[in-house]
Amino acid sequence: MAPPITKAGRYQIVSELGRGSMGVVYEGFDPVIGRTVAIKTMLTSSLPPAEFEDFKARFQREAQAAGILNHPNIVTIYDFGEDSGVLYLAMEFLEGKSLEDMVKEEGAIPVERIIPIIEQVCTALDHAHSCKIIHRDVKPANIMVLRSGLVKVTDFGIAKMMSMGMTQAGQILGTPNYMSPEQVRGRQIDGRSDLFSLGIILYELITKEKPFGGQNLTTIIYRIINENPIPPRELDWTIHPGLSYVIQKALAKDPDERYQTCRELAEDLKNYKKLGDSVGPSATLVTRVPPIAQAKTEPALAPPPVRQTQVPTRPAPRAPAPPPQAPSPISEQPITRPAQHITVIPPAHAAPPKGSMVPWVLFFLVLAVGVGGAYYFLILKPQQAPQTVVGQPPVQPPPAVVTPPPATDPNAVPAPSDSTNPTAGPGAAPADATATPSVVTTNPPVEPAPAPKPMTVTPPVHVAPKAATGSVRPSAAQTGSLAVSSNIPGAQISVDGKTDPSWRTPFTIPGLAPGNHSVLVVKEGFAIVQRNITIDPGSPATLSVDLAAPSGEINIVTTPPGIDVSIDGQQAGKTPLQKAAKVGKHSFTLQVPGMDPYTSSFEIRSDGYVVTKRIDLTGAVAASTGVVDVRTVPPGASVSSGGKPVGGPTPATIRLPAGRYMLSLSLDGYQTLHVGVEVPTDGTVTVNE
C-alpha cells in the first residue's frame, strides 16, 4: 500500500479521495493559483531504479499528450511532477459521482438519463481520437457525472502509462471486463477499441447484466474473444429493438464491423427508436456460429460456418402495459452464447418496385387462408363445453412459436406475429410473471417485401365474465408480497434494481417471485437504505426502515497530536480525531496553546464519504507549556480565559503556555465561576469545581 504523503511538489495534500490498482487520488490545494486540485499519484515502488527513470520519461510524454486535450467533457490536466520518488499528476478537481457509484446507489438508471451521459462520453472520445489519443481504460469508474449534469471522462492515457514496464508476468492491471478483443490479445488498437468498451457499458446499463462475466480472468478474456452476449432484447422484451441493435453493433468482435466513430454511435443511440420504425433502415447481422458439438474443442480463431439472421426493422405492436411488478433478481452468472462473429451490413433504404402485384397476391392469399381457418374453427370444428372458473382469472398458456403449415392445407392458419400471444392446447401452465421470458429458438425468420400483415385467428376462449386482462401472472399461491414502510413517508422503493413511480412508502408490492430480493428505499436528503428480503410463496412480508440524514466521517490528524478540536462550534475531542459528520459543509477549529486558533473546513459530499485532514503544526506549539485538568459538577461547562474559549466541555484537559490565568467556567442555568490558576512548565494543575 502506498504510504500517505503530505505534499506533491508545490501542491498541499488536503485529504485522500480514493485508492486503486494504479495509485492514490488526493484532494490538493495549489497555493500559487489558489485553487483546489486533484492529485493522482502513480504506484512505482516496485520498479528498480534504472526502470524507474525510463518509466518516468515515458510517463511524462504520455502526461503531456493527455494534457493537450482541451474539451469540456474531458478532465483537464494541469501539471506533472515528481516528489521524493513519487510521480504525480495535478488535474481538475471534480464535484460529482462516477457512473460506477451512480449505478451502485441508484440501481437501474432510466434510458432517458443514460443516453445524454453516453452522448457526452462519445463527444469526449471523438475529440481524443482526433488528437491520436486512445483512452484504453473506458469504464464506469472513469466517467464522472457532475451535479450540473456535465459529464467528464477521466484518466486519459493512464492505462498506457501503467503498462510501460509495470505489468509483471501473469498480471493484468485493473479489470479486463471492459477491454476489447484486440486489446486483450495484445494487438495494435485504435479508437474503435474504446468504442467496444463503451458498448459494454451500454449493455450493463440497459440490461443490468455483464456481457462477459466470469469467476476468473481466463474465463472473462475467453468470452471477450470468442463469445457474443445474448442480444439485449432477448434478455428483456421491453428493450427497444433499435436500442438492442445499437448495442450489438458496438460489440462486434471485428473492429471493421463496429461503428467506426463514437459520433456514429451517438447518432444512432439518439435516434434508436427510428431504427425500429417501418420507415427506418434495415440491418442484417451475419453471424458465424461453430457447431455445438465442436464449440468447446475448436480453436478460438477457427472460421466456423456462416448463417445470416435478419434483424427486425419494424417493432412489434406493443401489448397493453402490464401493471407494475417486481422483476426477477439480476443474475450474477454470465449470459453468453457459443463463439460467434458478427458482421453488420449497413442499413438499406430500398423501396419496393412500383406497380408490383406480389403484395396484393400475398394479401388475398393470406386473407383466403385466414377466412377458411376461421370458418373451420368457428363453424365446422366440434365445440367443447365451455369451462368457467369462478373467482379466479383465466389461466392463459405461455407464448409459443408456431411454424406456419404449408399453404396447400385448406385448414391452415397463419402463424401469429411476435406481437400476439397464440393460445396453446388445454392444460398449458402459466408463465412466471417475474421470471425472464423464455427464448424459443427457431430457424432465422425471413421478412418478405413490405405487405399487409397476415390475419391471425385463434380459437375462442371461454372465460369468467369479469376476468382480469393483461400480462400473465402466477397465482397468489405461487408468489408473495412485500409491504414497505418508513418513518418518513414518500420514499421511493426499488426491488432488484427496478422500480415504478407508484412504489412509494407506505406501499405493498404484489407478485414477487419466491426467494431473496434486494430492496432499496431512497428519499432525497436521507441516507439510502438497502435490505435483503426473503419472499415465501403465498406469504406477505413486511419491511420497516428508519430514514436518517446521510453522514460520513472526518479524520483530523495533527503533528504534534493532542490538539483540541471543535467542529461547528462544538468541542469534538483531541487529535487524532475520528468522528461522524452529516453530509454538507463543516468548519473546525484547532486550539493551539499560546497561538491564535487554526480554522479550516471540510465537506462530506455523500453518505459514507470519508475526509482526512492532515495538519502540520510543528513549531506552532509553545515550547514552555503545561496542562490544566478541569472537572466540574455537573459536567459540560465551557472554559475560557480573557474572553476567549480555551477548552471544554468539562471534564477537559487543556494545554496552555506556562503562566498565570483566570479561567471562567460557564454552564447554562448556573452562575459563571472564575478560578485563578498557575500553569507550570511541563506540569499539570487540576481544577475541581
Peptide bond into 474 cis (omega under 30): no
Instruction: Judge contact between 228 and 199, C-beta under 8 A.
Output: no
CA–CA dist 351, 359 (Å, integer): 13
| Cell triple for 186 | 495484445
SS3 583: coil
Separation in Å, CA 592 to CA 317, 648, 686: 74, 14, 20
Handedness of CA 69, 70, 75, 78 (dihedral sign): positive
Query: Which among 76, 64, 71 is positioned nearest to 125, based on CA atoms?
Result: 71
CA–CA dist 232, 318 (Å, integer): 17
Q: What angle do CA 597, 601, 603 make, to 5 degrees?
A: 160
CA–CA dist 446, 448 (Å, integer): 6
Residue 628 neighbours by CB under 8 Å, 6+ apart? 647, 653, 654, 655, 656, 661, 663, 677, 679, 684, 685, 686, 687
Helices 241-250 and 262-270 cross at an angle (nearest 10°) of: 170
CA–CA dist 46, 56 (Å, integer): 13
φ/ψ (deg, to 5) at 211: -70, -30
The single residue of 54, 83, 126, 137 carrying the catalytic annotation is 137
CA–CA dist 333, 213 (Å, integer): 7
Residue 137 annotated as catalytic: yes
Query: Which among 513, 626, 603, 501 is positioned nearest to 553, based on CA atoms?
Result: 603
Amino acid identity, position 527 = A
CA–CA dist 598, 184 (Å, integer): 52
Active site amino acids: 137
